[in-house]
Amino acid sequence: MTRETMGRIDPRLIRLFDLPAAPEGVVVALAAIDGPCELVSDALDDLGFDGVIAASVLRPTIAGATMVGPAITLRNRPLEADPFVVAREGHMNRQADFEAHNLTRPGDVLVIEGRQGISNLGGISATMGKRQGGLGAVIDGGIRDVRHSRRIGYPVWCSDITARTGRWRQETVEINGPVTIRGVPVHPGDIVCADDSAVCIIPLALADEVTRRVLKRVVTDRASLDFLATDRPLSEFPRPDARNFRE
């Protein structure tokens, strides 16, 4: 990648401040759950935050993948110039996902407010993220080189898979600022939880309470499954009080 083809972004738009740390134990506790999004979704419902995006909307590229980690955010916007003219004459790539990877800490999740029908992340970018210890990406928009990102174990939840590059069609305007993913606000440091069912965004201020409620549900669900593993009749199945999930 040459200086002429690398993305350019005004350094003033890259927020270099230290991201807030997740409450101790939150990421570890949620990541230890097999398929955590259902329980996280229920807890977010109880707390009145609509932070769930269905996996049929943002589809995972690697079946069975799960990731839980703090968000590092990036926002793209369309370029007004004719992309074919830019590609033919300018060769100026204004995407700057590599700058976000440069700020990535091990365990971070890249969250991109991007464009539909074009790539916001390709194979080189996925390799950068993997090299820096990023868990994967959530992208409201398209990606390409999906075979490569699958091969290196860098899962992506995205709306489109396409060969059409975004390099001449959009530009990065901010890193580590607020973004919106399918109507859900995401701030740097918010906890991203993603699996085969959904992508869930947990505001940092709710992370402790969401985790507490989720761990309580793990216990009650385990008790239900233990009962179902017996030969006892379903008429004896314990019906949990809905309040148990909210207290």
Cite the annotated binding site for substrate by residue number.
Answer: 144
In three-state secondary structure terms, 147 is helix
Residue type, 236: E
- What is the rounded CA–CA span in Å between residue 132 and residue 13? 21
Which CA distances in Å does 198 have to 33, 57, 78, 107, 201?
14, 9, 27, 19, 10
Q: Write out the binding residues for Mg(2+).
A: 145
- Here the tokens at position 8 are 């350019």
| Residue whose tokens read 């992508």 | 199
Tokens of 173: 């305007």
Annotated binding site: 144-145
The half-sphere exposure of 135 on its side-chain side, counting CA atoms within 13 A, is 22
